């Protein structure tokens, strides 16, 4: 007699792929198109999976209504997605291993890194690795980039510390302190002395919308006992700085995000205990790391050290 635990050994990856596709598409027909199967094949795989686990996984209302997962189906899907992500990561690992120096490196990035760090880094790195193809993926939210690392779709991603919970390791590249950006004609920018956190929080502020910097800054201000007065949010650095220059308010921005050549704004330093964004490169801790991946991290450290030193050597922008 086969025990329930032994019966689970009959679960196949194609069963999990079918479950994931049906859950995503809400239809056996569309799931079949996505997977390149017949509709009957998808139905058979779901039926086989339900038989193995001993639970109904899909609600089949019939007619034009979308199918949906049962509670058991949703529970199993969470495990299935982790397993499929690891399979994708393993496939990417083997591809990287066989490609060697002439392979590819897929890197996630976000706006300020793409504007200030990547141009210098790419010049340095591509000179040393001319045969390597580098693919870049940009997002305003590094959470989504880390999930692409987890699934094997990215080899590395720029991120900020702390990293999300998950199979990640990282290397710190630089510390990027926040500054207060004010309209150039603001009397607050030239009065002398430091502004208190209460004064800053009471200003009309232009803030970030969805990047994790939002949580860091808001949590810091709440920790100081103040609530920020945010009148508009955007994830575009140029939009934030442009609105400040137009006199709509101030903004707390990482220094790396600020265009210092903009004469419509004034940049004011914050207290030494102010918020700091720590920029890092992250990778999957269980994946094979190629020589190219390690060299990219090393080159990024060198470039960021130069940028950070340039910040420290620049004119003091503290109020």
State what percent of residues in the chain have pLDDT above 70. Answer: 93
Give residue 2's pLDDT band: very low, low, confident or very high (50, 70, 90): low
Residue whose pair of structure tokens reads 């009309």 in the numeric block: 204
Note whether 4-86 and 175-275 share their fold: no
- 94 or 57, higher pLDDT: 57
pLDDT exceeds cutoff 90 at 159: yes
> What pLDDT shows up at residue 298?
96
Task: Give CA–CA dist 53/22, Å, rounded.
Answer: 17
Q: What is the mean pLDDT of the chain?
A: 87
Domain ranges across the chain: 4-86, 88-173+278-313, 175-275
**4-86 to CATH, choices 2.40.50.700, 3.40.50.300, 1.10.10.10, 3.30.360.10:** 1.10.10.10
Token readout for 286 is 């269980």
CA–CA separation, 206 and 199 (whole Å)? 15
Pairing of strands 104-109, 156-160: parallel
Q: What is the rounded average pLDDT of the residues 121-144?
A: 91
The model carries a pTM of: 0.69
SS (H, E, C) the chain: CCCHHHHHHHCCHHHHHHHHHHHHHCCHHHHHHHHCCCHHHHHHHHHHHHHHHCCCCEECCCCCCCCEECHHHHHHHHHHHHHHHHHHHHHHHHHHHHHHHHCEEEEEECHHHHHHCHHHHHHHHHHHCCCCEEEEEECCCHHHHHHHHHCCCCCEEEEECCCCCCCEEEEEEEEEEEEEEEECCCHHHHCCCCCCHHHHHHCEEEECCCCCHHHHHHHHHHHCCCCCEEEEECCCHHHHHHHHHCCCCEEEEEHHHCCCCCCCEEEEECCCCCCEEEEEEEEECCCCCCHHHHHHHHHHHHHHHHHHHHHHHCCCCEC
* CA atoms of 52 and 5, how far apart (whole Å): 10
Alpha carbon distances (Å) from 146 to 105, 114, 297: 15, 17, 16
Give me 26's structure tokens. Answer: 């809400």
Q: Do you find a cis peptide bond into 162, omega within 30 degrees of 0?
A: yes
- At the topology level, CATH places domain 88-173+278-313 in D-Maltodextrin-Binding Protein; domain 2 (3.40.190)
CATH architecture entry for 175-275: 3-Layer(aba) Sandwich (3.40)
Give per-residue pLDDT as tens, 54-93.
Answer: 999 999 887 777 889 999 999 999 999 998 888 888 887 7
pLDDT at 317 over 60: no
Lowest mean pLDDT among 56-60, 96-100, 102-106: 96-100
Q: Where residue 104 falls among pLDDT bands split at 50, 70, 90? A: confident
Distance (Å, whole) CA 262 – CA 266 = 8
């Amino acid at each position: 007699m086969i025990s329930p635990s032994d019966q689970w050994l009959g679960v196949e990856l194609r069963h999990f792929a079918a479950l994931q596709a049906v859950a995503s598409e809400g239809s056996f027909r569309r799931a079949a198109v996505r997977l390149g199967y017949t509709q009957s094949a998808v139905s058979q795989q779901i039926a086989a999976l339900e038989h193995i686990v001993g639970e109904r996984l899909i609600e089949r209302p019939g007619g034009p209504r979308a199918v949906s997962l049962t509670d058991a189906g949703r529970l199993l899907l969470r495990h299935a997605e982790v397993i499929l992500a690891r399979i994708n990561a393993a496939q990417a690992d083997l591809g990287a291993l066989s490609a060697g120096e002439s392979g590819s490196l897929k890197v996630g990035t976000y706006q300020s890194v793409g504007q200030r760090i990547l141009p210098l880094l790419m010049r340095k790195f591509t000179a040393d690795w001319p045969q390597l193809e580098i693919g870049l993926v940009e997002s305003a939210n590094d959470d989504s980039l880390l999930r692409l690392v987890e699934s094997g779709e990215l080899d590395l991603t720029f991120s900020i510390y702390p990293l999300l919970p998950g199979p990640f390791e990282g290397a710190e590249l630089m510390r990027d302190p926040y500054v207060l950006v004010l309209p150039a004609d603001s009397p607050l920018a030239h009065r002398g002395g430091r502004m208190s956190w209460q004064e800053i929080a009471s200003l009309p502020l232009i803030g970030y919308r969805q990047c994790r910097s939002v949580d860091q800054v808001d949590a810091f201000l709440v920790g100081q006992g103040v609530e920020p007065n945010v009148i508009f949010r955007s994830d575009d650095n140029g939009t934030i700085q442009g609105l400040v220059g137009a006199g709509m308010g101030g903004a707390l921005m990482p220094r790396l995000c600020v265009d210092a050549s903009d004469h419509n704004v004034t940049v004011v330093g914050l207290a030494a205990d102010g918020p700091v964004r720590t920029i890092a490169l992250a990778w999957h801790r269980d994946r094979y790391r190629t020589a190219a991946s390690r060299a990219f991290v090393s080159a990024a450290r060198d470039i960021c050290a130069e940028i950070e030193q340039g910040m420290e050597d620049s004119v003091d922008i503290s109020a």
